[in-house]
Structure 1
């Protein structure tokens, strides 16, 4: 089973959760209706004497108006509470991290451990074909833990505790981050974040019951006179009993929800451990990371009051004692990797003490980390470039702007440029420079647009960035632009909107949009302003979107050749591969990239495909592009832009 099939399995699990959720809500509403009926029955018996007439109780229980009222109020409370929680989490992973008091890491941080964390995440993101998530640190948490959250890869966030930064070395940190990336790739995040809203909705029933229990005794103290108190005593007792029943019903509902949460989480955690080892090819690092957690006095404990809401998201259990554990025991996870481990953490504790003694990192160690990072990035980019068409056909890659270099210039990137990209001003200049034309007349117009919006100070930076970007091939240029995008994601939405508006102005400076400009702009938009609502849309069958899929394939076919027959053959190569899932497609002779709105709409509609259908579609796009046995820079950008827009998580061109 590949990552796309796992994503689809996770979405099916989400459907099962919805069914269970609806079932729970119905049972909760029925139980509360039973409590209301019992309250009214006992109240009527108090007035007439306790004859305990079953027919009277039955009349209350089957009363359609009372039934409608009980169910309506219960459904409304749960729906409003769930909607409220989902609204608070509407920004995706960042909202979850901030709710736990986490701090977002500045891309330009000078802290050695924070920089290493950013480097590791960037390396795994590039290697796995996933957009680099936003990065947070829980500064007040000495326990060793981490989590990934979000609705989609474009709004994902990874947070680690201070304890994890303190005790893990680079390889162990890679193993844990690889584990969290597998949750992104496997589609677990969307399921996990939905569980937060579901459990909160059910929890509110229990909270309301406890409020009734606490408020009921106060009703007697507010009554005046002995006679008034005596007359109210029976009512207060009934209200107290009703509140206790509601609290009990809600608590049982939460308990059942926790059981389901634990069952799903334990299964996904085992898969994530295996996926991390697949990422890093280093099982010892994962085993050592788990040993450190087992040896640590704090373990994986997270003290934040909201930790219980996301207990199923953490790398390991966030509580020292838990009735229904959301994770397999640490020892069990270690022994599944290292069967010889006997549970003795003595050597690990000694290692942790040694690491604590080396708190201050020397300058040469910082430089060593930078060299490791640049080397890892360069190797990945070269590997991606060499495998564009597979190792046997790598020479068919033909960049429109530059030829494929023998070695990546990224390790030799000027430190001044690197530092600029990690600051918001330099990152802004980088994205603007990526769309600056080489044609002087258009370039002059674009420079004027930038000068009007950002002033003269940024022009020199743009000229410098433009010169640097023109020395890179497509994979390298994409990496640099993604680094700039990651820097800019921490900006307020207003500043991001202004930047995107200026990028659009640069694209339309010559009154037309070419494929490269469209692909770049789409990439920047999907990363800087992810559409969370569209990511949560209902999945549609491939056959319903066959017309949109055919249109996109037809436009791609036009890029490779001006010859109509060759374009049709290229389209056919992609369309034929989709017949089993999308059905027979019709060749649209009128399809052309000039109809930008139509093309954009088709792409956005394809977001609603299932993960496996998305994988099949992007592979069909690749078949169209590689029909002529070569990939241009524009085609490279365009394929990745399509993958970004329709959220094909984990797809890489060379695989």
Structure 2
């Protein structure tokens, strides 16, 4: 099976295929509209020429130019509307944002399922929406990249499904993100907008004539106005008919892209949750439900290829359906599934009862130190002396490591790379453990407003070294109000024993709140983060990575051209691997040898001597931005080399793990939460 980076590369190829389909559809539409204009003109008596002469006339060129301009601008405008990410699609369909602080039990259940899957998969948590007016069971994800994703569910999905069924549906939608379907689906809406606009224009002309009752004119212009009226009427009717050609091609393109991907997403959901019945029952539930997954929304046609189940009725469904029949999808998951034993009634009560029997109603967190120590043992963490590299001012202060003794022999690095974008139920179980170990008050209060989210980031930047903490206490006391200072001290001292393995989950948890900051607030926040790093006596790799991730997640996305050669980013690669080897080795000589060995594998010529004394958070961010411009298959080469370096001793330190995850975050490649059985 293709790995994440190969799927990304195929997605780029598939986008080019979409453009070819689009151009073929445009050619057919241009030809059809030319015939329509010729027919309307002949019928109205506005001109007389045989169809064979039409392609050489000025009318034909004007018609062709006008059609191309209309299609082009309709596609560009719709694509621009959706360029801000999945939230734009959610707003387009009128969905309501579910806030992370929601106390509604059904909404809380959905948020908890999404949080668990986000932590398990290593993906930024999507913004969650609900279509309150839709009673059918359906859902979709939208966005151009994982960090800009929206997950939208219907009211029926929220109220009628059990937790296991809901988890199966959410797992299916997450799989569309991992398999690179999501960005293609959003681009498809923009591309097809131009094709479908032709039919909408014809419908508009017919409605306009119907409302106006025709053209009012003087006697002198009676004949001319009658001809114009007839021309517009015939043109509108034929354009409306031609619109069905666009609709046909649009559905054909969507079906060719979507249908087989649904089978893959179903299978990936089962791999993630290890619960075949969850997603199978959800599908059969849709089949038995009175609404059958059909949506009333005016944009149901636009997003038919994105939904969990086909949201519209369709003729020629065998040819144009974006989804396979439900029976086929269920049989593909479980050939022995017994449809006769599944009868779904009192669905809302099932959902409510399921909430009452799960932590979703009121999450339970064990905050004892003993429980924390037990988790560290069962998760494979062991003590390790701090790295002290004479060539660097950066200390690798994290003492925990993750053993990899359960990895397949001679396949450690390959296994780590193969796990990207392919979470399993082991990762999901680990995420549930992590959620149950994080103090409940911190988890809830940190997202109440921007100020509390900022305080949590400040807390994550604090080291375990007493001297650093005492120095920063003075810094924070001068900067914060007394109430905020006491809050920060309380959180920091609660998190210090846990911070190595909960840093990224907590970081991801507050990012949606921090994204609400204004531009000035973001600039001030970045200055505060840099000031905290500067005030730390011992510079720690983790704080550099937190700064880099903040810049990546909070700054506007700027589209950059591809860099198709590793030689063009030689300096950035040298900085990256110099940082990684100093986090991997306690002996400077061994670190230097490992660095030279890795760089020789890239065959980039003479390797520079990297002095990490001058390394700072801004350099980390700039280097990662350059690496993110590589095409997917070259990105894989870099991550593979990082995995080889990190796993040289058959164990991964938290610093190594966080650096790999940070690089992958810049590449929009989600790394599942690391556990001993699967690293």
Q: 2:590 aligns with which of 542, 556, 566?
A: 566
Q: 1:334 aligns with which of 310, 327, 330?
A: 330
Q: Which residue of 2 aligns with 1:390?
A: none
Tell me how far apart the structure 2 counterparts of residues 125 and 218 of structure 1 sit (CA, whole Å).
Answer: 52
- SS of 1:257's partner is helix
Q: Which residue of 2 aligns with 1:483?
A: 509
Q: Which residue of 2 aligns with 1:557?
A: 581
- SS of 2:301's partner is helix
Tell me if the contact between 2:661 and 2:671 (Cα under 8 Å) persists in the aligned partners: no
Tell me how far apart the structure 1 counterparts of residues 68 and 46 of structure 2 sit (CA, whole Å).
Answer: 30
CA pair 586-644 structure 1, distance change in 2 beyond 3 A: farther
Q: 2:643 aligns with which of 617, 622, 627?
A: 622
- 2:436 aligned with 1:411: yes
Tell me if the contact between 2:574 and 2:608 (Cα under 8 Å) persists in the aligned partners: yes
Q: 1:352 aligns with which of 344, 347, 356?
A: 347
CA pair 545-327 structure 1, distance change in 2 beyond 3 A: farther
CA pair 416-652 structure 1, distance change in 2 beyond 3 A: closer
Tell me if the contact between 2:661 and 2:670 (Cα under 8 Å) persists in the aligned partners: no
CA pair 373-355 structure 1, distance change in 2 beyond 3 A: farther
CA pair 397-239 structure 1, distance change in 2 beyond 3 A: farther
- 2:151 aligned with 1:158: yes
TM-score using structure 1 length: 0.83
Q: Which residue of 2 aligns with 1:423?
A: 448
CA pair 225-321 structure 1, distance change in 2 beyond 3 A: same
Q: Which residue of 2 aligns with 1:183?
A: 176
CA pair 595-604 structure 1, distance change in 2 beyond 3 A: same
Q: 1:233 aligns with which of 221, 226, 234?
A: 226
Alignment gaps of 5+ in structure 1: 388-393
- 2:645 aligned with 1:649: no
Give the structure, 1 or 2, with the largest relative contact order (CA under 8 Å, sep 6 or more): 2
Counterparts of 1:1-20 in structure 2 under 5 Å? 1-4=1-4, 5-20=6-21
- 2:546 aligned with 1:523: no
- 2:250 aligned with 1:257: yes
Tell me how far apart the structure 2 counterparts of residues 338 and 440 of structure 1 sit (CA, whole Å).
Answer: 55
CA pair 169-410 structure 1, distance change in 2 beyond 3 A: closer
Q: Which residue of 1 aligns with 2:658?
A: 637
Tell me if the contact between 2:108 and 2:361 (Cα under 8 Å) persists in the aligned partners: no
Tell me how far apart the structure 1 counterparts of residues 266 and 285 of structure 2 sit (CA, whole Å).
Answer: 16
Q: 1:541 aligns with which of 551, 557, 564?
A: 564
Q: 2:491 aligns with which of 455, 465, 490?
A: 465
Counterparts of 1:498-513 in structure 2 under 5 Å? 499-509=525-535
Shift of 1:519: 0.4
CA pair 108-354 structure 1, distance change in 2 beyond 3 A: closer
- SS of 1:235's partner is helix
Shift of 1:23: 2.9
Tell me how far apart the structure 2 counterparts of residues 478 and 46 of structure 1 sit (CA, whole Å).
Answer: 70
Q: Which residue of 1 aligns with 2:391?
A: none
CA pair 273-573 structure 1, distance change in 2 beyond 3 A: farther
Tell me if the contact between 1:526 and 1:645 (Cα under 8 Å) persists in the aligned partners: yes
Q: Which residue of 2 aligns with 1:400?
A: 397
Alignment gaps of 5+ in structure 2: 387-395, 404-429
Counterparts of 1:53-202 in structure 2 under 5 Å? 58=53, 60-63=54-57, 69-202=62-195
Shift of 1:177: 0.8
Shift of 1:321: 4.6
Tell me if the contact between 2:112 and 2:360 (Cα under 8 Å) persists in the aligned partners: no
Q: Deviations over 1:469-488 (max 9, x none)?
A: 21114222222222233454
CA pair 572-630 structure 1, distance change in 2 beyond 3 A: farther
Tell me how far apart the structure 2 counterparts of residues 2 and 593 of structure 1 sit (CA, whole Å).
Answer: 40
Tell me how far apart the structure 2 counterparts of residues 397 and 133 of structure 1 sit (CA, whole Å).
Answer: 38
Q: Which residue of 2 aligns with 1:588?
A: 608
Tell me how far apart the structure 1 counterparts of residues 110 and 211 of structure 2 sit (CA, whole Å).
Answer: 54
- 2:631 aligned with 1:610: yes
The range that moved more, 258-267 or 270-279, is 258-267
More helix by share: 1
**Pairs aligned (count):** 627
Q: Deviations over 1:605-636 (max 9, x none)?
A: 22233334323322312323444666544433
Tell me if the contact between 1:102 and 1:138 (Cα under 8 Å) persists in the aligned partners: yes
CA pair 397-288 structure 1, distance change in 2 beyond 3 A: farther
- SS of 1:228's partner is helix
